[in-house]
Chains A and B, each alone.
Chain A
Amino acid sequence: MGLIDGHNLDAPAGSMPGLALTSIDWVINVARRNSLWPLTMGLACCAIEMICASAARYDISRFGMEVFRPSPRQADVMIVAGTVTYKMAARVKRIYEQMPEPKYVISMGSCSNSGGIHADSYSVLRGIDKILPVDVYVPGCPPRPEALLHGLMTLQKKIDRQTLRRNKPNYIFENRREGEITPLPPEAAVEIEAARLMGIDLS
Chain B
Amino acid sequence: MARRYTQPDVMKRRSDDLDTQELTLNVGPQHPSTHGVLRLVAVTDGEIIKSLEPHIGFLHRGMEKNSEGREYRQLIPLWDRNDYLASMHMDYMVTSAVEALMDVEVPRRAEYIRVIMLELQRIASHLFWFASFALDSGAVTPLFYGLKEREKIIDLFEMASGARLLYNYIRPGGVRADITPEFMEKLSKFIREFPRYLDECEQLYTGNAIFINRARDVGVLTREAAINLGVSGPVLRGSGVAWDLRKDEPYSVYPELKFDIPVGERGDVLDRYEVRFYEMRMATEIVRQAMEGLPEGDFVAKVAVSPKTKAGEVYVRQEAARGEFGCYLVSDGGRKPWRFHVRPGSYLNLGALDAMCRGYLFADLIIILGSIDIVLGDVDK
A: residues with CB less than 8 A from B are: 40-45, 47-49, 51-52, 55-57, 68, 70, 82-83, 85, 87-88, 91, 95, 117-118, 120-124, 141-142, 144
Residue B300 CB within 8 A of the other chain: no
- Using an 8 Å CB-CB cutoff, how does the interface string of B60-86 with A read, 1 for contact, 0 for none? 111101100100000001100100110
1/0 per position for B138-149, CB-CB distance to A under 8 A? 000001100110
Q: How far is the CB of B342 from chain A (nearest CB, A)?
A: 15
> Do B151 and A120 touch (CB < 8 A)?
no
Having A48-B128, A82-B59, A85-B57, one finds 19 other A-B pairs with CB under 8 Å, namely A41-B30, A43-B37, A43-B59, A44-B59, A44-B377, A47-B36, A49-B164, A49-B165, A52-B147, A55-B148, A56-B144, A70-B32, A85-B58, A85-B60, A88-B59, A118-B62, A120-B66, A121-B61, A123-B62
In the complex, what residues of A have CB within 8 A of residue B37's CB? 43, 88
Taking the closest CB of chain B, its distance from the CB of A59, in whole angstroms, is 9
Contacts of B164 in A (CB 8 A): 49, 142, 144
Instruction: Give A117 to B128 CA distance when docked, in angstroms.
Output: 25
- For B78, the chain A residues whose CB sits under 8 A away are 117
Residues of B within 8 Å of A68, CB to CB, are: 32
A72's nearest neighbour on chain B, judged by CB, is B30
User: Does B106 count as interface, using CB distance less than 8 angstroms?
Assistant: no
Cβ of A142 and Cβ of B59 under 8 Å apart? no
Contact of A91 among B58, B77, B128 (CB under 8 A): B58
Residues of B within 8 A of A122 (CB): 62, 65
Would you call B192 an interface residue if the criterion is a C-beta within 8 Å of the partner chain's C-beta atoms? no
Q: Which 6 A-B pairs rank lowest in CB-CB distance, beginning with the nearest? A: A45-B84, A55-B147, A56-B148, A70-B32, A121-B62, A56-B144
Q: Taking chain B's interface residues, is the majority helix, strand, or loop, or is none over half, making it mixed? A: mixed
B29 contacts chain A at the CB level, 8 A cutoff: yes
Q: Are B151 and A117 in contact (CB-based, < 8 A)? A: no
Residues of B near A42 (CB, < 8 A) are: 36
CB < 8 Å: which of A41, A44, A55, A85 contacts B84?
A: A44
Nearest neighbor of A92 in chain B, beta-carbon distance: B30
B81 contacts A45, CB within 8 Å?
yes
| B66-A121 in contact (CB<8A) | yes
Nearest Cβ on chain B to A131's Cβ, whole angstroms: 15
* A52 proximity list for chain B (CB < 8 A): 147, 151
The answer for the CA separation of A122 and B165 in the assembled complex, in Å, is 25
Whether B77 lies near A117 (C-beta < 8 A) is yes
Q: A142 CA to B154 CA in the complex, in Å? A: 14
With A47-B36, A49-B165, A88-B29 as known contacts, state yes or no: A57 contacts B148, CB within 8 Å: yes
B166 at the interface (CB under 8 A from A): yes
Q: Can you report 16 A-B residue pairs in the complex whose CB atoms are below 8 A from each other?
A: A40-B30, A43-B36, A44-B59, A44-B84, A45-B166, A48-B84, A51-B147, A55-B144, A56-B144, A57-B148, A57-B151, A91-B58, A117-B77, A118-B63, A121-B62, A141-B166
- A155 vs chain B, min Cβ distance (A): 21
Tell whether, in the assembled complex, residue A95 and residue B30 are in contact, meaning their CB atoms are under 8 Å apart. yes
Contact of B60 among A40, A51, A56, A87 (CB under 8 A): A87
Do residues A45 and B165 form an inter-chain contact, with CB atoms below 8 A?
yes
Q: Is B31 an interface residue (CB 8 A)?
A: yes
User: In the bound complex, do residue A45 and residue B29 qualify as a contact, i.e. CB atoms below 8 Å apart?
Assistant: no
How does the 8 Å CB contact mask read for B355-381 relative to A, with 1 for contact and 0 for none? 000000000000000000000110000
B96 to chain A, nearest CB (A): 22
Chain A hits for B81, CB < 8 A: 44-45, 83, 117-118
**Complex: how many Å from CA A171 to CA B287?**
57
In the bound complex, what is the Cα–Cα distance between A41 and B28 (angstroms)?
12
A interface footprint on B106-148 (CB within 8 Å = 1, 0 otherwise): 0000000000000000000000100100000000000110011
Interface centre among B30, B60, B166 (most CB of A within 10 A): B30
Minimum CB–CB distance for A27 against chain B, Å = 32
Bound-state Cα–Cα, A80 to B209, Å: 38
Q: Is the CB of B59 within 8 A of A85?
A: yes
Q: Are B143 and A55 in contact (CB under 8 A)?
A: yes
Contacts of B32 in A (CB 8 A): 40, 68, 70
> Which of B31, B57, B128, B143 contacts A70, CB < 8 Å?
B31
Taking a contact as CB atoms under 8 Å apart, the answer to whether A124 and B61 are in contact is: yes
B18-31 Cβ-contact flags toward A at 8 Å (1 or 0): 00000000000111
Residues of A within 8 A of B131 (CB): 55
Choose one: B62, B63, B85; the contact of A48 (CB below 8 Å).
B85
Given A44-B59, A45-B377, A49-B165, CB of A57 within 8 Å of CB of B147: yes
